[in-house]
Amino acid sequence: MLVLFPMQEQSDDSSEDEAAGDTDMDFLRNLFSSALGLGSAEKVLDELTLDGVARYINSGKCKNIICMVGAGISTSAGIPDFRSPGTGLYANLQKYNLPYPEAIFQIDYFKKHPEPFFALARELYPGQFKPTICHYFMKMLKDKGILRRCYTQNIDTLERVAGLEGDDLIEAHGTFYTSHCVSFCCRKEYSLEWMKEKIFSDDIPKCDKCSSLVKPDIVFFGENLPARFFTSMKMDFPRCDLLIVMGTSLQVQPFASLVSRVSKSCPRLLINMEKAGQVNPMMGLFGFGEGMDFDSDKAYRDVAHISTCDDGCLALADLLGWKEELEELVKKEHTKIDSQDAKEKASENKGATAKASSASAPPEPKAEE
């Protein structure tokens, strides 16, 4: 489903203190690095092109790939991104009479006016879309034993549908996979199927224990990112030997700053419709990293492949010798999804017919005493 939410950090006090300490250290590290010209690193890629990245992967030296993905990897599945002029989600919310587009994902607005969010959720609910070539490319990285983790801004659950499991994923902005009561005194958990039934019956989901609103576990404006996002990034990014960034504008913090958490020698590949996450000296000084450098004379590790995410993944798969395998995987998995959908619709239709027949049948006559 949907995708980008600029949020705040952490849920428990100790984690927040730790994250604040990390930010202070990042600030000092970047300040001294920039001022003293420290931190130069070896050039790992023999060429700053997609071919160079493919040769590096095929060399066998690349064993801990991290993928960072955003809304752009799901647009070919029919799910709109947020910010594209004319077609983006924020450009098409007039019918909900919002005070401003982002209000539909503001937690305070949601608690007072939940109807617009659940109406939108009905249109874009997970289960109505199939994973893209890009999703299955990441599944191939997993199957080949070289995917360390996928960090996603998306809440459409398509990474899970494609075969990435809980340990493979950091859903930075939450997920529709589970839901919880919004009351701090309750917090009862609900399943994806429970929420789906409520949304498609036009009911505003209410907790059956305390009658408060129930919200999918996606992160709204004004809410904290999952604690697992912060704990995992500290372990994953120092070990990363190739960072692949796809379908994101890299405008939302703290997600965007992850590109600067890999080592100085780690190659970074961007597959996107436009360049993103480029060097911003002021952001570097304030602890958010120095960004990506595709074009300067000092560029030594960053590669930008300007295309759709699906086309970029197909091009990389072709260079790796995986294209036929990838296309076969997509075809097989889409056929499986279509078959499952057909069975579910047939079952629903059968149930609806039986219910209608039961309702229209004349009552049985009472037996005479």
Annotated binding site for NAD(+): 71-75, 81-83, 153-156, 248-249, 272-274, 309
Residue stretches of the annotated binding site for Zn(2+): 181, 186, 207, 210
Phi, psi of 159 (to 5 degrees): -60, -40
In the sheet with 174-181, reading across from the earlier edge strand, the strands are: 189-191, 174-181, 214-218
Residue stretches of the annotated binding site: 71-75, 81-83, 153-156, 181, 186, 207, 210, 248-249, 272-274, 309
Q: Is residue 69 classed as helix, strand or coil in its secondary structure? A: strand
Q: Which tokens in the block code for residue 279?
A: 């060097």
In the sheet with 302-306, reading across from the earlier edge strand, the strands are: 169-171, 147-152, 65-69, 242-246, 268-272, 302-306
Phi-psi region of 250 (alpha: psi -120 to 50; beta: other; left: phi over 0): left
Cα dihedral 158→160→164→170 (10° resolution): 90
Question: Are the beta carbons of 112 and 34 closer than 8 angstroms?
Answer: no
Known catalytic membership, residue 180: no
Q: Which residues pair with 269 in a beta bridge?
A: 244, 303
Which one is catalytic: 113, 173, 180, 334? 173
Question: What stretches of the chain show up as alpha helix (H) in DSSP?
Answer: 13-36, 50-58, 107-112, 115-123, 133-143, 158-162, 192-200, 227-236, 281-285, 309-320, 323-360
Phi-psi region of 365 (alpha: psi -120 to 50; beta: other; left: phi over 0): beta
25 CB neighbour count, 10 Å cutoff:
11
Compute the distance between CA of residue 232 and CA of residue 225 in angstroms, rounded to an integer: 12
Q: Which residue in 58, 38, 155, 30 sits closest to 105, CA to CA? A: 155
Compute the distance between CA of residue 298 and CA of residue 277 in angstroms, rounded to an integer: 16
CB neighbour class for 15 (10 Å; exposed up to 12, middle 13-18, buried from 19): middle
Catalytically active residues, by annotation: 173
